[in-house]
Structure 1
Amino acid sequence: MTFSSLQQKIDLLGNPAIFLRDVPVGAYQYPVQSQFSNWRDEQRSWRETVGLLDQSLHMTDLYIEGPDTIRLLAEVGVNSFKNYGRNKGKQLICCNHDGFLIGDMVLFGLEDNKVNVVGRPPVANWIRYVAQSGTYDVTLELDQRAVTNPGPRKTFRYELQGPNAWELLDKLNGGNLEKPKFFQMGEITIAGHRLRALAHAFAGAPGLEFWGPTELGPEVRAAIVEAGRDFGLELVGGRAYGTCAAEAGWIPSPLPAIFTGEVMRGYREWLPGDGFEANGSIGGSFVSDDITDYYLTPWDVDYGRLVKFDHDFIGRAALEKMVDRPHRRKVTLEWNAEDVLAVERSILTGQEPGKYMETPCAHYAAHPYDAVMTGGRLVGVSTYPTYLSVDHQWISLAMIDEADAQVGDEVTVIWGEPDGGSAKPGVERHVQKEIKARILPWPYLEAARKIRTHTA
């Protein structure tokens, strides 16, 4: 069955909380080579030497240009845009009218009135809808991620991360590389080509993200590979890349809060019936027939500190009412090794087998939500279970009620879906298991925690 819009899909199929649990689409795709060496050494690279990550294919790019660029961004974004402009990076956070997250993307200030918005599709789609529904003097250009793009991408996008990254970058530049300040932009010359770049880091590792016209990508990549031989360079494939978010403490894909409310109906009628929002699968042990139970606030994902009431924006009135309420707190969960082994043992013996844990990323839906319990009470949700080979440790990110989110305390993650599992093709018949986990701060590495406030 085909649907003309997301709204028509809801009208015909009913409750989105139910049909999104059974849509046949799995986890978010990273359409690059799975492994270049092996994902364990590739994970190790950004901790110990340097890794090259290819971001050219899996993210949506939206280019916005015109006199009203900043006005548009400020009206959809909860964070401040004072003094924002050329050569500045920024994390754009968007909410619906009720203050619940639609998502976030990274802004690249190409010029004072021109930006590139990069990330997963929901925020780019929301910006396009708001811009087209209002009176903004802007032009928009959408460059969709590779899995939905019939043509070539407009740019390549590479990232070098790790303790040897700056030395390698300096060599590629021919020396005298001027390092931009953190989350600021600059330029670098590679293989004779001058490229725009953004300085940032994940998992505590220094690095630079840079991009240019697609046709230059192979030449730039070849120069990096050649120069990188002296610095322990590893090419990072899709399997290792998928672990970056959990290690860095970033929840990349909150379920966009767009499925309810008459004020959002026009948007749902605008969205296609076969797009990301219409097929973003929900998975995990947390199950509700109320789609709003999957919605998140900025405080749930530690974006509350970035909300600035210095401008009018969509959702402001609702967020002002939320400020002084109790909030969930984002934390890292360190999973108990014996409980993980018990899941593995059950799979091997076939006696009440648990849900298979794919390594290094065990999430099997676009929006993974596992129940977190303490004392028989639901206290939060866990998401993006990930194995870090350097630490020999399974971790996940979680959003836990403030009163129960004490560092060092133990909680229980319910692993696997109820009633034998949903109808998603990636879900085999299984039995739910309990996995104890210890609450830790985020990001998982202490070195990375020192720079986590960079996105303001």
Structure 2
Amino acid sequence: MRRFPAAAAVRSVRGDGSLTDERTPTMTRETSGSLADALARAGDPVQLLRNLQSRATTFPVQPEFTNWRSEQHAWTTTCALLDQSHHMTDLFVSGPDAQRLLSDLAVNSFAGFGVGKAKQFIAVSPEGLLIGDAILFHLEEELFDLVGHPFVLDWVQFHLERGDYDAKAQRDDNSAVRASGPPQLYRYELQGPTALAVVEAASGAPVPEVRFFGTTQLTVAGHRVTALRHGMAGQPGFELFGPWADGADVLAALLEAGEAHGLVRAGARAYSTANLESGWVPAPFPAVFSDHPLMAEYRAWLPAAKVGSVGGSFTADDVTAYSLDPYEVGYGRSVKFDHEFIGREALERRAAETTRTKVTLVWDAADVADAIGSLFRPGPGAKHVELPKARYATHHVDAVLHDGAPVGVSLDCGYLANERAFVSLAVVDVAHAEPGTRVDVLWGESPNSTKPQVEPHEQRTVRATVAPAPFVQFARESYRAR
């Protein structure tokens, strides 16, 4: 790696807002060996995933710098700085066949994807169902960085190892599981109306015009910084990254420049909700459980400890019922049939057959308040509603009903202080996707699973109203006006 050298072996990171203890997932008998081994022991994949003893997903970054309400407010009114250095995994793929490998696995086109560009990389199974997504950076000729949740990175690494590719991969796991040392790269996200002003003040020069998901080079605190034009939570912004050794200097310069522009550091609690405003589903269930021979080979390769838990009221005997396709979660615009890739034939069929679409569900305030209020009444009460993010498993899947009949699934859920609303991202039948449609969300599990974050509780029905995804612009113009 020419531009980003390996990190020095430092046990803990202090002074940058990250947690100082290195935490690793608990290895239990249920997650020892490969996923194929775990499934053979469990017999039922649904019960294995619903009862995994792994803890709920946490970001290895300071939870709050002020409070999560003010930190959410900052990306709407001024500028929020979010530290992305620690919770994502990087897979650096290099070599003459690096792009061919990625193209063979992605639904995205690579036409015109030159150095300095980035895109959302989306991979599907042979059945055309989502394996996962991540952000792909084209850093240099024959050098790419795939950044995000390990699901899709594992898929790429598997195919690199089994395929005939003149390429290699260097992996930098996130700070929750890394064996030692800090990340190779720092990543600082600046979001909000004054983000551009902060970047220009820190760099001492106007930021060049750059298209969305394009990059440019800046100088901050005497260091070369790559800036990705990006946006989260429906606001303009930039993602700045570079070698870890430069990170403290760059952060200090951004904080100093931000003093005049209302900069607020945002911790893990606020950051975890940004996707609810922008409409991105962070952890769709990975479609790795089918009977296809390729998937059986993958399960024999994949460590069972990398499998995430499933929570929520949606239940099905067939584990594949939890899977989604790219069209259902709003990725249809990224699918291009200008190249061959795994799952292409199936995805072409799904393009014409998909009957569900992504929406936002605005949960009834009185019903949510009643569920929270059950903490103060006798009896088991409702499943605890954590604020601001209520997801309590890696993959959260609640049942959505209309007149008692199933019409979809509710996914990531939480509270948006800017809108004073509790919302979830959902996939519902097109017939029930019109904004204003009333539906019900089943909150809580029946029967209760044995996940450590699940207490004895009673399932509740929460009324909800369909709204567009992304939700933010609709909320500004219509929701709060009502």
Same fold (TM over 0.5): yes
Deviation at 1:112, TM superposition (A): 3.3
1:159 maps to 189
Cα pair 2:172 2:183 within 8 Å, conserved: yes
The correspondence for 1:434, drawn from 454, 461, 469, is 461
Q: Aligned runs of 1:174-185 on 2, under 5 Å?
A: 174-185=204-215
Secondary structure at 2:270 match in 1: helix
2:6 maps to none
2:387 maps to 359
The correspondence for 1:272, drawn from 286, 295, 303, is 303
- Does structure 1 residue 338 correspond to structure 2 residue 366? yes
1:16 maps to 45
- Mapped to 1, the partners of 2:35 and 2:398 lie a distance apart of 25
Deviations 1:16-40 (A, max 9, x none): 2111111122332211001000010
Cα separation, partners in 2 of 1:212 and 1:326, compared to 1, 3 Å: closer
After alignment, is 89-98 or 324-333 more displaced? 324-333
Cα pair 1:143 1:153 within 8 Å, conserved: yes
Q: Aligned runs of 1:348-427 on 2, under 5 Å?
A: 348-419=376-447, 421-427=448-454
Deviations 1:195-247 (A, max 9, x none): 11210111221111011111221121111112211111111101001101111
The correspondence for 1:259, drawn from 283, 286, 289, is 289
Secondary structure at 1:399 match in 2: strand
Identity %: 44
Cα pair 1:299 1:327 within 8 Å, conserved: no
Structure 1: 4+ residue segments shifted above 6 A: none
- Mapped to 2, the partners of 1:179 and 1:16 lie a distance apart of 49
- Does structure 1 residue 33 correspond to structure 2 residue 62? yes
Secondary structure at 1:255 match in 2: coil
Secondary structure at 2:74 match in 1: helix
Letter in 1 for 2:283: S
- Mapped to 1, the partners of 2:472 and 2:329 lie a distance apart of 18
Deviation at 1:166, TM superposition (A): 0.3
Cα separation, partners in 2 of 1:447 and 1:220, compared to 1, 3 Å: farther
How many correspondences in the alignment? Answer: 445
Deviations 1:366-422 (A, max 9, x none): 000000000111000001111011211101100001122111111001111112x21
- Mapped to 2, the partners of 1:291 and 1:39 lie a distance apart of 35
Cα separation, partners in 2 of 1:445 and 1:237, compared to 1, 3 Å: same
Secondary structure at 2:176 match in 1: helix
- Mapped to 1, the partners of 2:83 and 2:464 lie a distance apart of 32
Letter in 1 for 2:266: V
Please, which runs of 5 or more residues in structure 1 have no aligned partner? 450-456
Letter in 1 for 2:383: K
Q: Aligned runs of 1:205-284 on 2, under 5 Å?
A: 205-261=235-291, 262-274=293-305, 276-277=306-307, 280-284=308-312
- Mapped to 2, the partners of 1:248 and 1:188 lie a distance apart of 27
Deviation at 1:113, TM superposition (A): 2.0
Cα pair 2:233 2:276 within 8 Å, conserved: no
- Does structure 1 residue 293 correspond to structure 2 residue 321? yes
After alignment, is 122-131 or 175-184 more displaced? 175-184
- Does structure 1 residue 136 correspond to structure 2 residue 198? no
Deviation at 1:351, TM superposition (A): 4.2
The correspondence for 1:188, drawn from 218, 225, 250, is 218
Deviation at 1:73, TM superposition (A): 1.1
Deviation at 1:46, TM superposition (A): 0.6
- Mapped to 1, the partners of 2:120 and 2:186 lie a distance apart of 20
- Mapped to 1, the partners of 2:103 and 2:408 lie a distance apart of 31
Deviations 1:246-277 (A, max 9, x none): 11100011111112223211111111132x22
Deviation at 1:447, TM superposition (A): 7.5
TM-score norm. by structure 2 comes to 0.90
- Mapped to 1, the partners of 2:355 and 2:57 lie a distance apart of 28
Cα pair 2:311 2:392 within 8 Å, conserved: yes
Letter in 2 for 1:286: F
2:19 maps to none
1:125 maps to 154
Deviations 1:294-342 (A, max 9, x none): 0111111011232111110000111112221142100001111111111
After alignment, is 174-183 or 375-384 more displaced? 174-183
Secondary structure at 1:225 match in 2: helix
- Does structure 1 residue 116 correspond to structure 2 residue 145? yes
Letter in 2 for 1:437: A
Cα pair 1:204 1:448 within 8 Å, conserved: no
The correspondence for 1:88, drawn from 103, 117, 124, is 117
- Does structure 1 residue 57 correspond to structure 2 residue 89? no
Secondary structure at 2:458 match in 1: coil
Cα pair 2:189 2:239 within 8 Å, conserved: yes
